[in-house]
Structure formats: structure tokens, C-alpha cells
Structure 1
Amino acid sequence: MGVSIPFKDQPHTTSLTRKLLPYTVYALLPIAIFRLYFYPLPFPQPSTDQLPRSDRVILSASVPSSSSFSQEKIVNEAPCDYTNGKWVHDTVGPLYNGTTCGTIKDGQNCITHGRPDLGYLYWRWEPRRCKLPRFGPNTFLQLLSNKHLAFVGDSMARNQLESLLCMLATAATPNLVYRDGEDNKFRRWHFASHNITISVYWSPFLVRGVEKSKTGPDHNELFLNHVDERWGNDLNQIDMVVLSIGHWFLHPAVYYENDSVLGCHFCPGLNHTEIGFYGVLKKALKTALKSIIERKGTNGKWADVIVTTFSPSHFEGDWDKAGACPKTQPYKEGEKLLEGMDADLRNIEVEEVEAAKEIAKQFQGLRVEVLDVTKLSLMRPDGHPGPYMYPFPFANGLQERVQNDCVHWCLPGPVDTWNQILLEIMRRWRFQSWVEE
């Protein structure tokens, strides 16, 4: 038997291959160009694994799909009711801290003021029948691109605004472009990356008012038929407005309607009828909503309107004593009921929003919604600055008198959840507008 020698013809084969290879390449090149020209390869999509869930949703929704099932599902399903639920422990924590953004009012910066217990940072709101995604700053910026968002109202409006700016600052830089008024009551920021303007307007009654002062009367004066033009005059430049009122209506005041005295609240010594403040708050909110509906912007569109409901305080003792709001954990579901003044103020605001929504049905493009935060805020007695509205209040030992803030909210803190819900309202509006188009 002869011995078989593998590859014995290799030199001849290699030589032939080298001769034919250039001709093969020249023949295939036109075919490849023809294929790419008429059937281009898709660009690789960016990975979204590291984005918050809401950011992933909006990114995927912006890419055309052969199936519209996901969009139809979001549009047609009943809106999530964020009103009722419970606070559950969350190990993730907030998006920011007391030093990562420069917009927190000093009195709400509990971390840098030395609050020793930080457990209040690790809770998230879990609605009873749906999920509330973690706040997606990139989604919010994308939804608000080329628009002007204005927060209008009392210090709760400012509290919510500063929370939002801090969360958005984790994805883009807000530049302060305007500031006026005592205690930064009128400010404006611009996000150059998305051409977004965000403003805050101090207007604790929404209607025209004269605030009490040390040199003037010791009561407020409200003119219920006239919107506060400090923000009303800018409505033609605003695309979305978030209204917030409540706490200032508890102060002594004289009320005017049609330029004559309607009555007053807690005004001993004045010859006016005591009428309380519930009906007055209702009239003020009605005037504000009516003014927004009547005024279109320069682009012929209305401003979207969102009303943030009343946020309860949690004083359990004197405002100038240690332990005024001492709790360090949320109330459990059912442990604290929404009742009394807190429930009454919230119900008035919800009723006025519902009435405005009925009017809005007559006008295509007019959107009004309630941001109902009363119950979820009621259940967070641990979220206020308390004595830490001032830096290290017990550095020299326990003081006999120390001022407490059991009204406003630490930042970061529970108020961040308000903006989570705000984002979900905006996201639903966007999907609805896509379907209408």
C-alpha cells in the first residue's frame, strides 16, 4: 500500500487561490454596495438597562414599532389612582442629597443641618392598585423640551419646585437666569440642553392679595374676583402651570368681592362678618382656573394645569419646643385618617379641578388635572425639618426653646414623590396626544 501524503498539492492550490482572490473581491464589491444602498443595516440602539423604568418606557415608545399594543394599553387603561396606598421601605434612597444641587432653601436642607436620623430618606409610595415608577429625570426633560413650566402659589409650590430642580440636576444643568423679590420669591431657570424654562411665582392666594406686614394691618386682604397678575400676565408664555395653595388661608384676612367687603376670617375689632376661609379658598381657586382657561398663549394654546392638593402639617407640640414633630417613621396604612380641615381643604381643591375639567371638555387641547398628595403626605410625619430648619440646633445641648418647622418638607424627602406623580401625569398626556394625532 502506498502512503497517502496529506496536502501534497498545497503549493499549487495556494498559487491558484492568490490569482483568483482579487477577481472574486472585484465581483462581490458591486453586489455589496447594491445591498447596503437598498437595504441598509439598522443602527444599534443604545442600551437602556441602566435607565430608570420610566426613562426606558419613554425611550422605547419614541421608536416606531410594528405593534401599537403597548401605547394602546397605556392610553386605554384606567388612570392610576395614586391617592391611596402605603409607604414601604426602600433601600435605594433618593436621587440627590443636600449638597448635589444648589437650589434647596436653607430651612429644608435637613442633611446639612445635622439631622441625625436619615431613615426618612428610605421610603417609597406604593399605590394600592398600580405601580409608581422611580423618577426618570431624562424622561421628564424629554417630555418638557422647548416648554415653560411654572410653579405658582405658596411655599409648598416652592418646596415642590426645588425638589424637581434637584432631581433634574442629576441629568442636566439648571442655570438661574432671573431672580427677584424677598426670599427668592420669583425665580427662573433654564436648561440649555433641552431649551426648558422652569419658574416659580410667589402667589399664596392665587388671586390678588395684600399680605399682612409689620407696618400695616395685621391681616391679609384678598380680592377674590381678580387673579394675581404677577403670574397671570405671563400666562401667554407658560406651557404648564402647577398651582398650590392652602396654608395662607388659615391666617386672619379680609375678603373683597366685586370691590366690596365680602367678610373676614378671625378679624376681631373689625366690623365685618366672620365667614371662615373654606368658601374663600374655593372662590380663589375658581378665579385662578377661570383665568387660565380664558387666556390662550401666543401660540394659540392653553397652558396645561395641575393643582397640587393641600399638604397637612404635623405639629404634635408647641412650635417652639423640642419634639414638635418627633416621629421618625411614616404612619402605617389605617393608622392616621384623613379627616377634619385636611380633608375639607383637599376636597374643595379636587371639586374645583373636576369642575374645570368639565369646562375643559369644550375646548380641544385644554388639559386640567389634580395632583392629589394630601393622603400620602399626611402619612409622613417624619419628613419635616422640625428643629433642623436651623443648622445643628442642639450643638450646645438641649435648648429650652427651639423653632420647629412641621409644615414644609426636608429635601430630599417625601415631596420628591409629588414630582414622581407629576411625571406620570405628563407621560399619560404625551401618549394620549400621540393617539389623537
Structure 2
Amino acid sequence: MGSTIPLFKEQSLFVRTKKVLPWILYALLPLALLRLYFYPLPFPPSPETELPHSSTPITITTHSSLSSSSSSSSSSSTPPLFSSPSSTSEKEKGGGDDENERGCDYFNGEWVRDLRGPLYNGSTCSTIKEGQNCFKHGRPDSGYLYWRWKPNRCNLPRFDPNAFLQLIRNNHIAFVGDSMARNQLESLLCMLSTVSEPKLVYRNGEDNKFRKWQFVSHNASVSVYWSPFLVHGVEKSSSGPNHNVLYLDRVDERWGKDMDQIDLLVLSIGHWFLHPAVYYEGGSVLGCHYCPGLNHTEIGFYDVLRKALRTTLSSIIERRGGGGGRENNNGIDVIVTTFSPAHFEGEWDKAGACPKTKPFRNREKEVEGMDADMRKIEIEEVEDAKGRGKEFEGFRLEALDVTKLALLRPDGHPGPYMYPFPFANGVRERVQNDCVHWCLPGPIDTWNEIFLEMMKKWERTAME
């Protein structure tokens, strides 16, 4: 008899548990669903965006008159956009997360998958140039949108449009150069327009090559000046000589005359120097590049690129380095975006294409040849000008070195989708491709993410 009582209790407990358990599960199910609603599990990528080469990271190794159209948004008493950079502080050498970000080399790293995608798309941004609106023109794959740049030993934060607008409050930024300058500008406008709509206040020139927008919310202006050589030049035309003419000893006044109305210059040149040209310096012909039939010495284009950039940076230092041009002005800030490689497979004018849909793998592509030479010249001239401008407190200059990270993205160009639906009537034998510029949205958005981090770093330096 004594042994039957515990057995009865065990059976009774089992019965009660069996009855209560379903009710407990019913109570937990809504809680689980609520948790998933607020904290969803990551979803797997679609087949077209599946992670390639997951076993091998993608890395790269380092080698050592717009102002007259409206009143300027810059106040004469407004301080410069960036503070004067100083030598690396002890904090920047430190070991904390914030210190690591401060000392980060944003220009070397790898492309990693990011399922969040871009801040905007081809239908939400109204300032995209038609030839770079790849989705609108029917590009069928979307995998190129789901990568982001991961620098070595630190992270590149997602672009914060509010932070950028706050940094340029009461200032005027001008992108000056060739179509790559315009490409970077339009990327920036698209990202900023996610929080504040830019108002177009000026446009002029063929293909609206001179434009200016205002962000009324922050009294800030952003403009673009077409100047493919930065120095004075006459571009080739169908009705004239089949070569460009460059005057290497004077800056292009189409933007130079507005220099005293600009707080930050973003310069970008390179690809136009590859075209046939005759060069002048000191009133006489210096030489030419690919000019058969003309009695000029062939001198190539590398030294010419160097001279053009040196003339440009020297002119900026002379006119604005000491705070010249505006009363109580403290100078000007300058960014030089380095050469962005093309990815033609074959000759660009002979149906050369860029058909890849994924980034290059680790060590699959190195910066070499012309790409390396163009970048080297630009970096050297920036460092030389920084040395010459040291004596001017108001002159700040940095290189936005995108050459390496751009080289690894052969998948980010419009290709045949520079035109609307190029294969709508079947595959044609010959289709022109754009393997120089970048789709919007696309990899070039990263240029501006790094640009913002440079601005934030200089702002922190000012406060130390």
C-alpha cells in the first residue's frame, strides 16, 4: 500500500502536465511571432545575388558662371568647411573602436555582401543621368547593388545624409572636372535627396554641364562645372580639328572665376587626357599626343596630366590659400578624386563590353599599367601641393583615392544599358557599351561614403 501513493502522484502529475502543455504553447506562439516582427531573421539572397567566392575574400594590397545665377549660399563670415589637419594625435594611434576609426585607411580593403542595398533607386531619385539609370534602362541583374566596401581593420559606416548636410550648412561645394566628377555629384545628390530635396537653381551648357542645386533646409549649395582638363582647353568637335587643345599654364576660368564663391572643391580628371591633343605652354606648342600629320613632338599624356593638375592646385593656393577672394574668409578645402579605371573587355570603340556581374576576387586584379601611373601622378601632385600650401592656414587638401576599390568592381558599369532596353528586339551584333561610368545606384556611392568620413574626421580634428 505504501508504494502505490507515489505512483498515483506521478500519474496525476503527468496527466495535469499533458493538459496544461498545449495551453503553454498557445501562449508562447504569439510572443514568438511578436519577436520575429520586430527582430526578423536575415533572409537568404536571391539566386542572382548569391555570394560568390565565399571562401576567398576580395582584397587589395596597398602600394607605398554658376555663382552668378543666384546669390551664393556662403556667408563671408562663414568658417571653412573643414578644420586644418594636424599630425596624428595619440588618440588616433590608440586601441579603442573610435580610435581605430580615426586612423582608418578607407582606401584598402575588400568588397563584402550587404543585403540592405542602396539608399535610393532609379525611380526615387530625379537627378540621375539617363545613361547611368541602369534599372530604368532594363538591366536584368541586381547583384551589383548588394556589396559594400569593408576597409582593412575598420568599418565604413553607411552614408548618413543628415550628417553630410549638417557639415555643409551655409557652404558651397563644387564638383569640377570631367563626367566622372558629374557621376560622383549625381550619386551624392541622390543620397542627400532621401532626406532633403535639392532645388535646381541654375543650368547651362550642352547636356546641362553647368548646374547648381540648393538645399534650402541647410542653406547649402552643390554645383557641377564641366572642365575635363581643369586647365583652359578647347575640346575637339565634328566641325573642327579632331584633337583637343590644352593650355597647360592657365586654369579654366569657366570655374576659376567662381573660385571665391566656393568653400569646397572636388576635382576629378583623367580619361580625357587619353584623347588626341596638342599642348601649349608659355604661348608656344609644347608637344602633342597622337597627332599624325602635325609637325609636333609626341610627348604622350602623363607629364601633361601632371602639369595640368599642378597648375590647377597652384592657382587654388594663390587665389584662396591665404584666404584671398572674400573678406574674413579662411580659405578653401580641396578634394582630388583619383583615377577610376575602365573595364572594357576589348576596344571601347569596337564593341568592347564589361559583362561581369560580380566583383573581382582577391588578387584577381591588381592596380597596374596606366591605372597605376595615373593614380601615382595624382597622389604625388596632391602631396606636393600640400607641402607648398603648409604656410596657408586656410588651405586644406586631400586625395580621395578610389582607384583600387574601383578596379575591383567591373560589375558596376552601365555596359549596354547606357541606352534603354538595348536587347528589346533581340541580341544585336554590335552594341555600344559604357564601361567607364557607374550605374546609379552603384559602387560610386562608396566614393561619397568615404568622402563623408573624411569630412567627419577633419571636423573631429578641429575640435581637439
Give TM-score scaled by structure 1 length: 0.81
In structure 2, what is the Cα distance between the partners aligned to 1:286 and 1:79?
Answer: 28
2:88 counterpart of 1:88: no
Q: 2:452 corresponds to which residue?
A: 423
Q: 1:359 corresponds to which residue?
A: 388
- Please list the CA deviations of residues 56-82 of structure 1 after superposition, one character each: whole Å capped at 9, or x if unmatched: xxxxxxxxxxxxx98997689863212
Q: 1:225 corresponds to which residue?
A: 249
Q: 1:369 corresponds to which residue?
A: 398
2:128 counterpart of 1:119: no
Which structure has the larger Rg? 1
Q: Of 272, 282, 290, which aligns to 1:248?
A: 272
Amino acid at match of 2:119: L
Q: 1:349 corresponds to which residue?
A: 378
2:201 counterpart of 1:177: yes
Amino acid at match of 1:398: V
Structural mapping, 1:159-198, within 5 Å? 159-198=183-222
Change (3 A) 1:104 1:265: same
What is the percent sequence identity of the aligned residues? 71
Amino acid at match of 2:150: E
Offset of 1:317 from its aligned partner? 2.8
Q: 1:400 corresponds to which residue?
A: 429
| Secondary structure of the structure 1 residue equivalent to 2:246 | strand
Provide the aligned length of Structure 1 versus Structure 2: 367
In structure 1, what is the Cα distance between the partners aligned to 2:100 and 2:316?
Answer: 28
* Residues 92 and 103, structure 2, Cα contact 8 Å, conserved in 1: no
Offset of 1:360 from its aligned partner? 2.3
2:335 counterpart of 1:311: no
Q: 1:98 corresponds to which residue?
A: 122
2:443 counterpart of 1:414: yes
Q: 2:305 corresponds to which residue?
A: 281
Amino acid at match of 1:334: R
Give TM-score scaled by structure 2 length: 0.77
* Residues 83 and 372, structure 1, Cα contact 8 Å, conserved in 2: yes
Please list every run of 5 or more consecutive structure 2 residues that lacks an aligned counterpart in the other structure.
1-89
- Please list the CA deviations of residues 301-356 of structure 1 after superposition, one character each: whole Å capped at 9, or x if unmatched: 22200000000000013446777101000001211010000000000000000111
Displacement over 4 Å in runs of 4+? 69-78, 320-323
Change (3 A) 1:214 1:305: same
Q: Which moved more, 1:313-322 or 1:408-417?
A: 313-322
Offset of 1:245 from its aligned partner? 0.3
In structure 2, what is the Cα distance between the partners aligned to 1:251 and 1:393?
Answer: 27
In structure 2, what is the Cα distance between the partners aligned to 1:126 and 1:207?
Answer: 35
Q: Which moved more, 1:155-164 or 1:75-84?
A: 75-84
Q: Of 353, 362, 368, which aligns to 1:333?
A: 362
Structural mapping, 1:260-299, within 5 Å? 260-296=284-320, 297-298=325-326, 299=328
In structure 2, what is the Cα distance between the partners aligned to 1:110 and 1:84?
Answer: 27
Change (3 A) 1:70 1:191: farther
In structure 1, what is the Cα distance between the partners aligned to 2:199 and 2:102?
Answer: 38
In structure 1, what is the Cα distance between the partners aligned to 2:101 and 2:414?
Answer: 39
* Residues 320 and 401, structure 1, Cα contact 8 Å, conserved in 2: no
- Please list the CA deviations of residues 208-255 of structure 1 after superposition, one character each: whole Å capped at 9, or x if unmatched: 000001111110000000000011111100000000000000000000
* Residues 332 and 394, structure 2, Cα contact 8 Å, conserved in 1: no
Offset of 1:366 from its aligned partner? 1.4
In structure 2, what is the Cα distance between the partners aligned to 1:71 and 1:130?
Answer: 13
* Residues 330 and 393, structure 2, Cα contact 8 Å, conserved in 1: no
Structural mapping, 1:120-159, within 5 Å? 120-159=144-183
| Secondary structure of the structure 1 residue equivalent to 2:458 | helix
| Secondary structure of the structure 1 residue equivalent to 2:412 | coil
In structure 2, what is the Cα distance between the partners aligned to 1:214 and 1:432?
Answer: 51
Amino acid at match of 1:289: L
2:330 counterpart of 1:301: yes
Q: Of 257, 263, 266, which aligns to 1:239?
A: 263
* Residues 101 and 154, structure 2, Cα contact 8 Å, conserved in 1: no
Please list every run of 5 or more consecutive structure 1 residues that lacks an aligned counterpart in the other structure.
1-68
In structure 2, what is the Cα distance between the partners aligned to 1:315 and 1:339?
Answer: 15
In structure 1, what is the Cα distance between the partners aligned to 2:435 and 2:350?
Answer: 12
* Residues 292 and 302, structure 1, Cα contact 8 Å, conserved in 2: no
